[in-house]
Amino acid sequence: MQISDEKLWESCLTGDKEAFKEIYCRFYSLLYNYGSKLVSDKDLVKDCIQDIFIKLIQNYPSLSPTPNVKGYLIKALRNKLYDALEKEKPTDDITLYEEVFITDELFPLLSFDDSEADDRARHLMQVFSLLSSHQQEIIYLYYVNGLKHEEIAEIMGINYQSSKNLLFRSLSSLKKLYLKKD
């Protein structure tokens, strides 16, 4: 039986190195994939993930319990990447979203044998790329990572209702763009 994220986090609060290791193994892939959608520098993403876990291990006595370990780590990575980019570039050149959120995770449809389905999937990817980076991010967080609006709101620094509204508007825009005749 797998230990819940919350129980592992509680063990981390006591300095349990094995619990930190398990949290790291459990979330590394998700964090790397998410970070890779925000910035194109994969080494920066890896470094930021490492930095987060080093800081967690060093500062475990000051950590607080959290019912949402996944959301906590995603928000920490988002903030760490933003800080790293801010140090590298002048403030007016900062672009957190250098990459779009188009992935095989979001659009697994491209492996259809049917050429019409392939065309529809390609069209969907094209119109998805026309959405703003925030619209792409919320769709990715909600549908690929399976986060709830409370978690998304915390990660994106918006309130709960704004998260719901942004997802609704994003899906409406996606549908409108998809159905639009060229």
76: domain CATH number? 1.10.1740.10
* Dihedral angle over CA of 109, 113, 119, 123, nearest 10: 10
Domain limits at 156? 102-177
73 & 135 share domain: no
pTM: 0.69
Task: Check residue 91 and give its pLDDT.
Answer: 45
- Residues 53-65 as b or e (16 or more Cβ within 10 Å = b): beebeeebeeeee
Q: Is the dihedral of CA 106, 110, 116, 122 positive or negative?
A: positive
Task: Please indicate, yes or no, if residue 112 is contained in any of the structural domains.
Answer: yes
Question: Looking at the domain assignment, is residue 96 inside a domain?
Answer: no
More confident residue, 92 or 131: 131
How far, in Å, are 55, 94, 178 from residue 20 at the CA level? 11, 32, 44
∠ CA 121-124-125, rounded to 5° = 90
Owner of token pair 């928000």? 75
Q: Is the domain of 106 the same as that of 81?
A: no
Torsion over CA of 167, 40, 30 and 117, rounded to 10 degrees? Answer: 60
Q: What is the pLDDT of residues 2-17, one digit of tens each?
A: 899 999 999 999 989 9
> Does pLDDT of 81 surpass 60?
yes
